[in-house]
Structure 1
């Protein structure tokens, strides 16, 4: 049975939410709304799942399941209660947690797929960017799961602490603690590779 909005999204008061408006249009039978919403949310969903899981194939499965739940949510969505993106991030995090629980004790591929290269950059710059991307992903995968989630949402997705608190179902103070500890751990993990990755110490 699909989760309802009341089960998954905190009551944060009325909000301006163009994604939610698109979902309501989809529920009313507008196929173009579905295409627009997919274009807006699917890449972000895939990016978060990739950072949390460290495996593109698994992240694509999570993204597909999250989008299926999104379409099922359409007829239940109540505009103004919370942002649709907040609801979707929470679904993605829960799916990632469930997926990792199923894999516990098995092998998880930690190799990250680099972002598409920027054709305006030189080959050397592209290789440097790829090395930094891979190093960050490998470092993220060494963090405890909740720290990794908080760091991804705060410093990669650039969400505000109150929104992250709603997604992770914890207090704002807990978000601040997780992100602070996660940042310190990442800095320690990457400290010995600054020169290798092309970062100056100035």
Structure 2
């Protein structure tokens, strides 16, 4: 039995932490939130472009993780993959609701960069990339965000998107080409 528990932990690095969360260990809850919340918030922010909505999605995702901790059974997907899938679904729910409300201007974004020159340069690049990402089809954008901004490997990203690795690689290839084209057209315009 001990070897089985060790094998499960090596397959899913969060298995032991989840077991502690399920037992009501407050330190484990803090550790889980500390470990996962920043990445989930970053994912939500990149998909939604709104800090308040990203916070809501991240909090709801962590709440669901806490509720599911007792029933989590390591198997076909790692906990981290499941957590990203939950966050993606919550983001897409919000994006679907947005379609019903037309807004003409995006919300203002605060740039916390220390240097004014650097912040202008970073802002310009970030705005250009965000505009180009917004032009991509949703699945291509999702693949690029998971692999390049969330640092998920192809296998994890494919599992989070519920597609094969080959389909993910195809989405990434098409997304990268479309991103290059969109950035080049910004340079021309």
TM range (shorter): 0.7 to 0.9
Q: How many correspondences in the alignment?
A: 181
Of 171, 180, 187, the match for 1:178:
171
Query: Using the alignment, how far apart are the partners of 1:135 and 1:20 within structure 2?
Result: 40
Flag structure 1 segments of 5+ consecutive residues without an equivalent.
Answer: 1-12, 196-202
Query: Using the alignment, how far apart are the partners of 1:191 and 1:125 within structure 2?
Result: 22
Of 36, 45, 58, the match for 1:41:
36
Change (3 A) 1:52 1:112: farther
Change (3 A) 1:112 1:145: farther
Flag structure 2 segments of 5+ consecutive residues without an equivalent.
Answer: 1-6
1:111 CA displacement: 4.7
Greater helix proportion: 2
**Structure possessing the higher relative contact order (Cα contacts under 8 Å, 6 or more residues apart):** 1
Question: Could you say which residue in structure 1 is the equivalent of 2:3?
Answer: none
* CA RMSD across the alignment: 2.4
Question: Could you say which residue in structure 1 is the equivalent of 2:152?
Answer: 159
Is the contact made by 1:111 and 1:134 (CA closer than 8 Å) also made in structure 2? no
Task: Map residues 90-129 of structure 1 onto 2, 5 A cutoff.
Answer: 90-107=85-102, 110-111=106-107, 113=109, 116-117=112-113, 119=114, 122-129=115-122
Instruction: Tell me, yes or no, if structure 1 residue 63 matches structure 2 residue 58.
Output: yes
Question: Deviation string for 1:100-157 (max 9, x for gaps)?
Answer: 222223235645746642x4xx431222112222222222122111111001011111
Change (3 A) 1:151 1:26: same
TM-score, normalising length from structure 1? 0.79
Query: Using the alignment, how far apart are the partners of 2:41 and 2:161 within structure 1?
Result: 18
